[in-house]
Amino acid sequence: MNKILFLLGITLLVSGLIPIILYMNLLYYGYTFTEYLSIIFHKLEMIYVILGFIILNICYFKKERLT
């Protein structure tokens, strides 16, 4: 069960971080950093990042080992 949660956490974190990194192109087109953060925090991908981070922390602090 811990391995499945770990893989789910990694998947959510990566699927959330890739679009956030791609949105950094907005800075090139004249957006300010505060506008960039406003756009990022209103996207669904930020929820994926937060959920993935929480799931990975749960897996890390559980007593079971991944191996």
Q: Tens digits of per-residue pLDDT, 14-51?
A: 999 998 888 888 888 888 889 888 988 888 889 999 99
pLDDT digits (tens, 9 = 90+) for 44-58: 889 999 999 999 998
The pLDDT value recorded for residue 65 is 59
CA terminus-to-terminus distance, the chain: 12
What residue segments make up the domains of the chain, in order of their start? 2-61
Give every CB contact of residue 19 below 8 A, 6+ residues apart in sequence: 43, 45
- Confirm whether pTM is higher than 0.85: no
48: number of Cβ within 10 Å: 20
Residue 16: exposure state from Cβ atoms within 10 A (0-12, 13-18, ≥19):
buried
